[in-house]
Amino acid sequence: MAASQALSVLQATDEFEEILGKLHARNLPEFFELIEERIERERGANGCGAKPRGAEANLDESTADITLHSIASEVRNHPCLPPDAVLKSERIRHPTVGEFAALDPVTVVSVDKFLYEDDEAIDEMCDEGMLSRNYCLECGSHRSAPLNFISHSASSQQLKFIFQKALPDLNGKTVVDIGSRLGPVLYGAYFYSGASRIVGIEINPELCAIQEDMVKKFSLRDRIQVINADVCTQATLLQEADVVVMHNVFEFFAPSETQISIWKFLRETLKKKGCHLITLPSLAKSMETLKLSMDLTSWVKQCPLEHITRWIREDEAREEVQQICRYEIL
Ligand SMILES: C[S@@+](CC[C@H](N)C(=O)[O-])C[C@H]1O[C@@H](n2cnc3c(N)ncnc32)[C@H](O)[C@@H]1O
């Protein structure tokens, strides 16, 4: 097929879905078997196997997963970190605008998804009396309602999705995480991509110290660097980046006026053509929440990810990664 007629991944996925819709349910298993054989043949022919794209040179996927879990466990047990993973020195403010503003702050509890990935870990915390799933609606009564759990860290699932599925090969590239907190994005980039320079910018010095401890303990210094600074002082680094990750950076951490000036700084600074932005929530949503009018169409092009997320079977996993947005700077 001539290059101009070639299907995009999104179009091909749509056509594949259409074919599935036309098949009788009883023929699906046989069809899937044929497809699986075809994929295996393709992998063999390309010599690419099922190896995660650009993953750390000698690590297979399960080793990378296990190492990431070990880091999470090490951070969880770090002597400076309380169970809710929020330091006393942090000034987390409940947003006054946007989707979280509607929630009563008393009903919101921080549960870090990088540290407490699965329900079992959360159940354990509840059993040990460190956490409750419910709050009392009327003091003294038995009526209660579920608390709203929010995470200030990316989960391993989100990290894998970002670095193995959403982004192209990052071999030799520079990844910058704005607001690196406990460092999950840095560890994710290290183990799930071939990025050669991975930099976290974090304004809180104690959070930087925890990241530094992990970098040292797991010997990650060859590719990871942590900078204790306000992102607005890091224009040169941002201009060198090939990927910039912004995961809920400012919403809980700065008043609206400060957030607006940071976004204006980022709009002015992030100009490298082809640089990828990974954001959560979407840029449009962040602008809308802050009532900030910014012409996004002259800055970035959004790269759809639905053709990847739609294949994730588990609802919860799909919802988690569906919030992730990818853009390319024009
Ligand atoms: C939601 S956390 C992001 C965590 C991490 N990137 C992840 O995905 O797991 C946001 C972090 O941004 C940091 N932060 C907020 N404003 C900042 C600024 N102006 N410069 C650098 N870091 C900032 C906060 O201290 C907080 O640790």
> Is the omega angle on the peptide bond into residue 281 within 30 degrees of 0, that is, cis?
yes
pLDDT over threshold 50, residue 48 = no
In the chain, the amino acid numbered 209 is A
For residue 112, being part of any structural domain is answered with yes
Give me the pLDDT at residue 32, please: 81
For residue 9, being part of any structural domain is answered with no
pTM over 0.75: yes
Distance 89 CA to ligand 1 centre (A): 14
Beta bridge partners of 146: 134
**Structural domain harbouring 180:** 53-330
Give me the pLDDT at residue 143, please: 57
Higher pLDDT, 14 or 324: 324
pLDDT over threshold 60, residue 56 = no
3-state secondary structure of 61: helix
For residue 81, being part of any structural domain is answered with yes
Range 211-228 average pLDDT: 97
pLDDT over threshold 90, residue 21 = no
Give me the pLDDT at residue 57, please: 44
Beta bridge partners of 302: 327
Higher pLDDT, 208 or 35: 208
Range 120-132 average pLDDT: 72
For residue 13, being part of any structural domain is answered with no
Locate the ligand 1 atom nearest the alpha carbon of residue 262 and give its number.
19
For residue 302, being part of any structural domain is answered with yes
Locate the ligand 1 atom nearest the alpha carbon of residue 280 and give its number.
8
Task: Return d(Cα 38, Cα 35) in angstroms, integer.
Answer: 5
CATH number for 98: 3.40.50.150
Which residues form ligand 1's pocket by a CB distance below 6 Å? 114, 152-154, 177, 179-181, 184-185, 201-204, 207, 230-231, 247-250, 253-254, 262
Range 199-216 average pLDDT: 97
Give me the pLDDT at residue 107, please: 77
Distance 73 CA to ligand 1 centre (A): 21
Which of the four pLDDT bands, split at 50, 70 and 90, describes residue 50?
very low
Q: Which two tokens stand for residue 260?
A: 């607006």
Distance 143 CA to ligand 1 centre (A): 36
Give me the pLDDT at residue 108, please: 80
Which of the four pLDDT bands, split at 50, 70 and 90, describes residue 59?
low
3-state secondary structure of 145: strand
Higher pLDDT, 249 or 225: 225
Could you give the percent of the chain with pLDDT greater than 70?
Answer: 86
For residue 39, being part of any structural domain is answered with no
Give me the pLDDT at residue 174, please: 98
Give me the pLDDT at residue 123, please: 72
Distance 247 CA to ligand 1 centre (A): 8
3-state secondary structure of 316: helix
Query: Given ligand 1 and candidates 71, 180, 269, 323, which is best to mutate, with the most ligand atoms within 8 Å of its CB?
Result: 180
Q: In 10 A of CB 106, how many CB atoms?
A: 9
Considering 15-24, 62-71, 219-228, the range whose residues carry the highest mean pLDDT is 219-228
Distance 65 CA to ligand 1 centre (A): 24
Q: What average pLDDT does the structure give for the chain?
A: 85
Beta bridge partners of 135: 145
Task: Return d(Cα 24, Cα 138) in angstroms, integer.
Answer: 54
Total domains present in the chain: 1
Give me the pLDDT at residue 185, please: 98
Query: Given ligand 1 and candidates 90, 178, 214, 280, which is best to mutate, with the most ligand atoms within 8 Å of its CB?
Result: 178
For residue 134, being part of any structural domain is answered with yes
Which of the four pLDDT bands, split at 50, 70 and 90, describes residue 325?
very high
Q: How do residues 129-171 score in pLDDT, each as one tens digit?
A: 777 676 666 665 555 666 677 788 999 999 999 999 999 999 9
SS (H, E, C) the chain: CCHHHCCCHHHHHHHHHHHHHHCCHHHHHHHHHHHHHHHHHHHHHHCCCCCCCCCCCCCCHHHHHHHHHHHHHHHHCCCCCCCCCCCCCCCCCCCCCCHHHHCCHHHEEECCCCCCCCHHHHHHHHHCCCCCCEEECCCCCCCEEECEEECCCCCHHHHHHHHHHHCCCCCCCEEEEECCCCCHHHHHHHHHCCCCEEEEEECCHHHHHHHHHHHHHCCCCCCEEEEECCHHHCHHHHHHCCEEEEECCCCCCCCHHHHHHHHHHHHHHCCCCCCEEEEECCHHHHHHHHCCCCCHHHCEEEECCHHHHCCCCCHHHHHHHHCCEEEEEC
